[in-house]
Structure 1
């Protein structure tokens, strides 16, 4: 049995200590994003996932938007200081990918395939999750780290204004990525008998 893919999965971890010591070029990372999303399956092959790749000043700008917006959400300055520290760890990364769902695509399939209309939103969420994972594994295969963040929807309008995001693109997740400056801790697993059932073996 081949286990190359499983080994990449096992090496993929949420990395918070990210840096800018990246050997891949911006173009190579851009191609990783594009290929990961293009090859990730979507319901009816509707290809509803969209992405904006942020490098350099644009990457910094996004996390500045987030940290400034969060100031209105936290109860006091002590909590905000911790929030700033957390966001600074994302800003220290090499870049960020913003993942979106094209809601026009979802609506068109709801209208044109009415038998499954109630499913297309859920399926679009599955599609974007697979795209997130595919890019994350591609990063892992290239010895880069990442984490998956969700500061939507509170930053959606600000992000749309800052990066000229089409109105039909709905922000679903953000993935800062970069060099792995400190390894993740040990990962715990629940017992297999709580998680899996094998029948007819």
Structure 2
């Protein structure tokens, strides 16, 4: 027997999925149009120890991280042309400078994160890849701090995952669609990491020596 309520429910589900996909696609388009950004990044992993990093990014892939917690004072710069990382363990201006590969265990994150895949563009690419292997659903509007945000949940079908993440819950700033909060979960349902992006500045005109502080 034809059950119109089931059809209506299916249509509503498809519409919600399309709405979430639209938000993600729009966020990707906004990022593609960006030249650079700066943010304060706060993260908490499963170990409970948090990180606080002043993060700068400029296309085609320059990254600068200034650590506040842990390793206070340390500065790390990734050069996408050389595909190398310069690390000042005690801060810029000290004689000790290390040149490392981005996959060096010394600078890999708690969950294997790499500096050359640490920017918002890499996050959005992971979200799109996981959505293509699963689904996306809206989480609705909310407020984080004083910021109006809209949320999207992306989940892999079955045990599908991207870089070990099976489910993301992401809240985007409603005015810019820049990520404000990202929660990641494994296939077992356990939380992996929560990341907050605060004090975001977009299309920053960084000084010439920002990503080459040794010059």
Report the TM range for the smaller structure's normalisation.
under 0.3
Larger helix share, 1 or 2: 1
Larger strand share, 1 or 2: 2
Q: Tell which has more relative contact order, 1 or 2 (C-alpha 8 A, sep 6+).
A: 1
